[in-house]
Amino acid sequence: MVNKNKTKEKCPRCAKGTLVTDVESGEMFCSKCGFVLTDKVQESGPEWRSFTQDEHGDRARAGAPTSLTMHDMGLATIINPANKDAAGRPLTSTMKSTIERLRTWDSRSQVHEPVDRNFRQAFSELNRLKDKLAISDAVIEKAAYIYRKALDKGLVRGRSISALMASALYAACRDTETPRNLKDVEKVANIKRKDIARCYRLLVKELDLKMPVTDSVQCVARIASRIGIQEKTKRYATKVLQAAQKNEVSAGKDPMGLAAAALYLACVKNGEDKTQRDIAESANVTEVTIRNRYKGLKEAFTM
């Protein structure tokens, strides 16, 4: 069955029939006399072969969006891995070996610059850290942006790519107020904490980054979800932290340690059976930190 679209335009030859467009063949002809006006109609609308959706829910054109986490930002093309020609017929053995050779050279030609090889290694490390830390795409894009700026300034020369990428990711977490601390990054990156901290200080100084202070209230939900603390206890811990911020007790303190101490205080208040060791392990801090912060928070909340 041929898909046809009718229009209200009259035929210029017989002036009786209306013009009909055959979508399959692209011909425009008269419905009465059959006069073919054009044999190839250019389609001005979008391509409906892709079933992706844009932000409004409408079907959009094919192609993945550009991303800073790719060495070429997603703008490069590849030779189709399917060994078929334009008509869908399988290639001959001779042509297949030729296409394979072309694919190899096409892949090699995309990373002929040292910068591209650096980006490939750095962003493969970034994708590995993303899966282990469970971080959103917005944070990953920010980390890739910081690393690109560092490479432009020549900060990567003489330093470990993995350490600089881990420090860029930590800076992105700080900038987007994502509750991830240095110990979390150190654990998944398998790099010493002092190396990540040294590269982080270098990035902040050379790139003039303005890092916001991490809100300890955002760390409460993360710690509580790990050990299964009740919602009532979480709300009480949030009140304790808000009172500490109001009385300026939390100034200069580690946000994760403050959140862990507030949760322990809330567990004691509500009679929930959670030890200091349980909360310390889930918050990745020491029990001594919880005991020290516990005293200050208890005094601040009773003031």
How many Å apart are CA 262 and CA 276, to the nearest integer?
A: 11
pLDDT tens digit sequence for 191-203: 999 999 999 999 9
Lowest-confidence region among 80-89, 106-115, 261-270:
106-115
H or E stretch covering 203: helix 193-206
pLDDT tens digit sequence for 145-182: 999 999 998 898 888 999 999 999 999 998 888 878 88
How many Å apart are CA 197 and CA 211, to the nearest integer?
A: 14
pTM to 2 decimal places: 0.61
Please, what is the average pLDDT of the chain? Answer: 81
How many Å apart are CA 69 and CA 140, to the nearest integer?
A: 7
Predicted pLDDT at 51: 47
Predicted pLDDT at 29: 82
How many Å apart are CA 60 and CA 53, to the nearest integer?
A: 5
Residue % of the chain over a pLDDT of 90: 13
Tokens of 195: 């190396």
How many Å apart are CA 126 and CA 181, to the nearest integer?
A: 16
Predicted pLDDT at 42: 57
Cα 145 to chain centroid, rounded? 12
Residue % of the chain over a pLDDT of 70: 83
How many Å apart are CA 261 and CA 215, to the nearest integer?
A: 14
pLDDT tens digit sequence for 230-289: 888 889 888 888 888 887 777 778 888 888 999 998 898 888 888 889 888 888 888 898
What is the residue extent of each domain of the chain? 4-38, 114-206, 217-302
- Same CATH topology for 114-206 and 217-302? yes
Q: Domain 217-302 is in which class?
A: mainly alpha
75 pLDDT more than 80: no
CATH fourth-level superfamily of 114-206: Cyclin-like (1.10.472.10)
Q: How many CB atoms lie within 10 A of CB 70?
A: 15
How many Å apart are CA 126 and CA 122, to the nearest integer?
A: 6
